[in-house]
């Protein structure tokens, strides 16, 4: 009976962990983009809350080209999804992400810096920038309270259709 209870408990833990780590995006490229953004936000919150600007600056310098490329991918994602309101939605996402990570840190209290500060050592010890996306994915840093890759809002879909129709009409003339 104990074995059965232990097996059920283990399966419950495994299934809940895999549910937490499930990708939220249909595209692996989009998922990776958001995971790298979550890593950057996590490190920013750590640097600010734990007074470790030196490590954060080292991270930014080391991965500057990759982080800039990731920022362009995030911008493109929001432009595609939200059209004219892309910047507003992008800003909202970045703020929500940082706030959620900060709340998690507040929940840990005095444990936050010692518990999470080692991530700087880990990320700076990667052999190359090509490992950054896999590292971010393995950390599962996107808080459950932050939605990524949500369906296009109805207004954005209608806006994009109207823009496409205008282009088609212009080409026919």
Q: Phi-psi bin for 128: left (phi > 0), alpha (psi -120 to 50), beta?
A: beta
Residue whose tokens read 């991270």: 59
Q: Please enumerate, as own/partner, the contacts of 80-89 that have beta carbons within 8 Å and a separation of 24 or more.
A: 81/152, 81/153, 81/156, 82/152, 82/153, 82/156, 83/156, 83/159, 83/160, 83/163, 84/159, 85/156
Q: Is the pLDDT of residue 3 over 80?
A: no
Max CA pair span of the chain: 78
CA 46, 49, 52, 53 torsion-angle sign: positive
pLDDT at residue 149, as a whole number: 82
pLDDT at residue 12, as a whole number: 39
Q: Please enumerate, as own/partner, the contacts of 26-33 that have beta carbons within 8 Å and a separation of 24 or more.
A: 26/149, 27/149, 29/73, 30/77, 30/148, 30/149, 31/137, 31/148, 31/149, 32/133, 32/136, 32/137, 33/70, 33/73, 33/74, 33/77
Residue 153 is given by DSSP the state: P
Q: Is the pLDDT of residue 131 over 80?
A: yes
pLDDT at residue 158, as a whole number: 54
Q: Phi-psi bin for 162: left (phi > 0), alpha (psi -120 to 50), beta?
A: alpha
DSSP labels for 24-55?
--SSHHHHHHHHHHHHHHHHHHHHHHHT-HHH
pLDDT at residue 162, as a whole number: 58
Q: For the whole model, what pTM was predicted? A: 0.73
Mean pLDDT value across residues 124-143: 94
Residue whose tokens read 């939220």: 24
Residue whose tokens read 């309270």: 145
Per-residue pLDDT of 57-89, as tens digits, reads: 999 999 999 999 999 999 999 999 999 999 999
């Amino acid at each position: 009976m104990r074995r059965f209870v232990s097996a059920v408990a283990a399966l419950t833990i495994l299934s809940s962990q895999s549910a937490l780590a499930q990708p939220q995006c249909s595209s692996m490229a989009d998922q990776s983009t958001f995971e790298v953004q979550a890593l950057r936000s996590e490190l920013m919150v750590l640097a600010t809350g734990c007074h470790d600007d030196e490590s954060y600056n080292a991270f930014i310098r080391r991965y500057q080209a990759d982080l800039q490329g990731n920022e362009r991918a995030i911008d493109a994602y929001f432009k595609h999804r939200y059209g004219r309101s892309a910047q507003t939605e992008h800003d909202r996402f970045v703020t929500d992400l940082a706030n959620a990570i900060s709340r998690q840190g507040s929940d840990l209290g005095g444990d936050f810096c010692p518990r999470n500060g080692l991530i700087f050592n880990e990320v700076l010890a990667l052999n190359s920038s090509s490992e950054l996306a896999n590292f971010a994915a393995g950390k599962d840093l996107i808080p459950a309270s932050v939605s990524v890759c949500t369906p296009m809002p109805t207004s954005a879909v209608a806006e994009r259709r109207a823009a496409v129709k205008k282009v088609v009409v212009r080409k026919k003339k």
